[in-house]
Structure 1
Amino acid sequence: MIRLLLWLSWTISASALAHPHSFIDMKTEIVSQDSRLIGLKMTWTMDEITSSDVFYDAADAKPGSVTWKKLAAQVMANVLGQHYFTEMYRDGQRIKFENLPAQYHLYRNGLKATLMFVMPLAHPPLLAGSPIIFSTYDPTYFVDMTYQGPAAITLPSTVASRCTIALATPTPNVSLQAYALSLDKPGSPGVDMALGKQFAQRVTLQCH
């Protein structure tokens, strides 16, 4: 749990590990109501090494126990502290999320820990119109947060016929990848808060 809380709060120090240090497999469901985008339901599955920290603190606690609820609250509080690690825009204007999730849950998924949460929008925009673009990433690139493909982002059946989703994955050049690796070496400048955005995937939601 210590490693997980470290990256979530960005209190990160360089180590001998390769950059990034942890990996999260993401899935997102678009949440809509009355022709408006009202939120995103995200499911983050952590890699086995990061998950082992969570399982260590949970020990033999049963799902739904006070221990698991406390762990979920700790993790969610840190995610909230970074505005869900997510940015959303339309026409260059930022669309903000509510400060609290509509729901959240931390659970065991085999050897991995999974965090599910719903991020409601503060001012839900109409789905129809110019594209809505969002990205989820760790600015330091300490954690790689990735969709495995366009199928990882889904639409509700009520809007599937009039909305499309496109996933853009950047292809950083060799020099940028080498720079990311150099941040883990002794004498490096350390944390670069602009690095993650260059590796971040971009989701475009277009509805009519």
Structure 2
Amino acid sequence: MFVKLVPGALALLLMPSAWSHPHSFIDMQATLVHKDDQITGLKMHWVMDEITSADLLYDAGDAKPDSVVWKKLAAEVMANVLGQHYFSEFWHQGKAVKFDNLPPEYHLSKQGHKAVLDFILPLGEPQPLAGQRYIFSTFDPSYFVDMYYDSDKSLHIPAELAQRCTFTLKTPKPDSSLQAYALSLDKADAPPEDMDLGRQFAQKVTLTCQ
């Protein structure tokens, strides 16, 4: 069972209420992926904190990066991410844009003592760029994992679109009572589902193109 391999952040997919909130952290980066004048997806780069990474890297042992061991671990991690709809939402003109069920590529590696997941988050259908605005967020609804962009510099536009498109990052500022509530949750607690706690802490990224 994957939960035995990685009892940290990614195990929330099987046991979303097992730990405190937030218990783990994922530092994210995103790059716009396009073809012609359409956005086809986002290239995601997720760096897990050292504690979350420890068991995953332990199971990888001394295996080489392109070994069967790493590929198997990558498949297990990606399957869990897919099980949560990539932890992401993508909006255009107030309507949700669907994702493709399978990423065209994904890769698991290590960066020092941290595990790194790279993958393409594919849109179900390419979307026009010219004169459009999109909003997307990536978050764990239970706020078990704090998934965050460190700054605007974590969001990347390909050079050929740099004069036309921009990313804007908005980080919410929940009131002190909500922050205190989130921090008060211990290993035996879970926020009510209808509270959607993670969404209230979720950053929003706006993509605007001329």
TM range (shorter): over 0.9
RMSD: 1.4
Aligned with residue 31 of structure 2, among 29, 39, 44: 29
Measure, in 1, the Cα distance between the counterparts of 2:78 and 2:93.
29
Q: Unaligned regions of 5+ residues in structure 2, if any?
A: 1-5
Number of aligned residue pairs: give it: 203
Aligned with residue 136 of structure 2, among 110, 134, 137: 134
Q: SS in structure 2 opposite 1:88?
A: strand
For the Cα contact (< 8 Å) 1:48–1:112, is it kept in 2?
yes
Q: How does 1:10-159 map to 2 (within 5 A)?
A: 10-15=14-19, 17=20, 19-159=21-161
Measure, in 2, the Cα distance between the counterparts of 1:51 and 1:198.
26
Q: SS in structure 1 opposite 2:161?
A: coil
Alpha-carbon distance, 1:184 to partner: 1.4
Which letter does structure 1 place at the counterpart of 2:7? I
Which letter does structure 1 place at the counterpart of 2:134? I
In the TM superposition, what whole-angstrom CA distance separates every residue of 1:147-192 from its partner, at most 9, and x where no partner exists?
Answer: 0100101001111101111100001111001111222176x4x244
Q: Unaligned regions of 5+ residues in structure 1, if any?
A: none
In the TM superposition, what whole-angstrom CA distance separates every residue of 1:43-98 from its partner, at most 9, and x where no partner exists?
Answer: 00000000101111112222111111100000000101111111000111111111
Query: Which residue number in structure 2 is paired with residue 168 of structure 1?
Result: 170
Query: Which residue number in structure 1 is paired with residue 182 of structure 2?
Result: 180
Query: Which residue number in structure 1 is paired with residue 11 of structure 2?
Result: 6
Runs (4+) off by over 4 Å: none
For the Cα contact (< 8 Å) 1:14–1:183, is it kept in 2?
no
Q: Normalised by the size of structure 1, how large is the TM-score?
A: 0.93
Measure, in 2, the Cα distance between the counterparts of 1:112 and 1:133.
29
State, as a whole percentage, how many aligned pairs show the same letter.
56
